[in-house]
Structures are given as C-alpha cells and as structure tokens.
Amino acid sequence: MVKLSVIVPFFNVQTYAPDTLRSLASNAREDIEFLLVEDCSRDETLRILERAERELPGARLLRHERNGGLATARNTGLDAARGRYLTFLDGDDWLAPGYYPRLVAAMEELGCDFLRTDHVQCTARARTIRRVPHGRRGVVLNPRELILPADRSTSVDYPYAWAGIYHRRLLEDGLLHFPHGLRTAEDRPWIWRLHREAESMAIVGLLGVFYRRGVASSLTQTGDVRQLDFLRAFDQVLDETAKDRDADRLMPKAVRTYCAIIAHHLGSIERFEPQVAKQLRISSAAALRRMPQDVLERALNSMDTQRATRLRRLRRRPVTGEAAA
C-alpha cells in the first residue's frame, strides 16, 4: 500500500534537479512513491529524470507531450497518485533527510484533512525560516476560521502547496486539483478553496522543506506575459468567494489581498517587458473596476497611503478594448 504520494514537477532545472532527487532518496521508504513530472524541458532535465526512475526507490516518471506549466504538471501527478496522503515539491527545491516520514507521522497523529508546515527560504547563502501566519500549533482547527481577519496576514496568504500534506479524501472531493493552465499564482485559488471547503486542518512546527528563491529560470524572476496570470487566479478567488455562504465576511479579505498583489506588481513594474507592463496597468485597472466597489473602498482605506493612492489612480484609468487580462 502506498501511504504517501510526492508530486514533483520539473522544467529546465538541470542545475538543481540532482540535489532535489538526492533529497528524495534520503526520504525514500517502501510506502512512499515519487511522481516525477517532466514538463517538456529543453535542457538535460529529462535525462536526469530517466536515470532517477531507474535508481530512486518508488520513482515513476510522467512525461508531458507539451509544456503545460506548474498547475497542469501538478494535476498530472494528482491523477496518477495512489497514496493515502499527498504532498508536493518543486523541482529546484530540496528536503531534509527523513522529513516525509515525520510529516506522515504528524498527519496520522492529528487525523485532519490537511496539515500546513513552516519552511526554510534559501536565497543564495542566506537561510530564513518562514512560518505559517497562525500561532496555534499541533491542534486541529477549522480552516474557514483561519481566512480572516481581512487586514492581517493569514493562512490563505501562505499558499505554498509543498508546505503541507493532504488526505486523499480531499482529492476525491475535488479540492486538490489546480486551475489548469495557470502559469503563476496557481496556488491562490487552490488554498482559498481548501480553507473554504475542507473540514479540518492543523499547523505543525516541522521544518524540512528548503525553498530556493532567486533561481533565474523561475517564473517569479521573469517579466513576461505569464506573470499576468495572477489576475486570472485572483478573479477566480473573487468569483468563488462571492458564491460562498459567508461571502459578506470573506470578500473583504479576498479584495484586499487582490489589491495588495496588484500594488506589489505595480511597485516593481520596471522588471516587466514594456508591452507586458502596459498590459499589467490596463488589466489591473479593469480588475479594480470589477470588484465590489464598496468593499474595494474599505480595502483601500485600510492600506497605507502609497499603495492606496497608486491603486485609486489606476482605478480612474480610462477603459480600453485591451482591458482583458
């Protein structure tokens, strides 16, 4: 019986994949499977994974015929997973030895729908512990109650899919698949859906995932049009939240978070290609006008002056035919 399925997408990570695979080997156990999803890399990643399939206990190589992006690659792994529990890792990150057996043990002890964990962020030689923004650890909680308050960082602002473990019943209930085709922010609608619809969760102070930041090939480091998928992702968050039974309570958080992400991208707009920067302004202005205006106004009033002014100015931008993201 497979107890844990680990889904690991890979795309053009030949420099980092060997470290990732060695860390998986240090977590291998007869009841753990590793689903290595190769998303049409153009470098030597496929060759590295073909060797890993032969040498890494529990490894299965899943190949895409065309590049689909991280969300689609994770969905490929989910469709093939056989484990009672599921988790994720990115192809340029790595694990502490024996981390997954400890994670499974914590999940079995608490018996909830999903667990969230802290992680170590690695930027060059710097190591920083990033914690789930909620203080209670090792107790079963109601995920819905961890969405709020609207004006503080909460559990839905910590969307990393690999920082946790998920019971198979969530997969069977349709809660673990990612929005197909999203190239960035794919985990935002996903984490909101988990918190709205799962029945139980817990947070544990278990460190073992090392998240590599500043990788040149990472989408977060590029300024091309794929970055604008965050607009589609947050439009989905707003659409689904508006249909929720607690929409009046939850919508202020969804709107404020969307505004904060728009402001973040506008604040570093120089990293985008010129045409993409133009589209970012146009599409963000349209997004602001689509939001419930009373909720938006309260959100802007709660933000610092610099961000609120930038967003209000953008909201007044004339509508054009290019407004769709």
What are 23-55's pLDDT values in tens digits? 999 999 999 999 999 999 999 999 999 999 999
Distance CA 166, CA 134 (A): 18
- In the chain, the percentage of residues whose pLDDT exceeds 70 is 95
Asked whether 154 and 253 are in contact (CB, 8 A), the reply is: yes
Confidence tier at 222 by pLDDT (50, 70, 90): low
The predicted pLDDT at position 320 comes to 63
**Distance between the two ends of the chain, CA-based, in angstroms?**
45
CATH 3.20.20.140 fits 4-220, yes or no: no
Q: Which two tokens stand for residue 201?
A: 């969760």
Mean pLDDT of 111-123: 97
The predicted pLDDT at position 221 comes to 47
In 3D, which of 211, 208, 204 has the Cα closest to residue 127? 211
Does residue 321 carry a pLDDT above 60? no
H and E: helices and strands count for the chain = 11, 11
Asked whether 163 and 191 are in contact (CB, 8 A), the reply is: no
Does residue 325 carry a pLDDT above 60? no
State the average pLDDT for the chain.
94
Q: Which two tokens stand for residue 287?
A: 């997004």
Asked whether 86 and 172 are in contact (CB, 8 A), the reply is: no
Does residue 204 carry a pLDDT above 70? yes
Confidence tier at 324 by pLDDT (50, 70, 90): very low
Distance CA 289, CA 293 (A): 7
- Domain definitions of the chain by residue range: 4-220, 222-315
The predicted pLDDT at position 215 comes to 66
pTM equals 0.93
Does residue 319 carry a pLDDT above 70? no
What are the φ and ψ backbone dihedral angles of 31, each rounded to 5 degrees? -105, 20
Alpha-carbon distance values, 191 to 98, 155, 197, 320 (Å)? 26, 9, 10, 32
Does residue 137 carry a pLDDT above 60? yes
In 3D, which of 90, 23, 76, 14 has the Cα closest to residue 45? 14
Confidence tier at 214 by pLDDT (50, 70, 90): confident
Q: What three-state secondary structure class fits 235?
A: helix
The predicted pLDDT at position 183 comes to 87
> Are β-strands 119-123 and 209-213 bridged in parallel, bridged antiparallel, or unpaired?
parallel
What are 268-283's pLDDT values in tens digits? 999 999 999 999 999 9
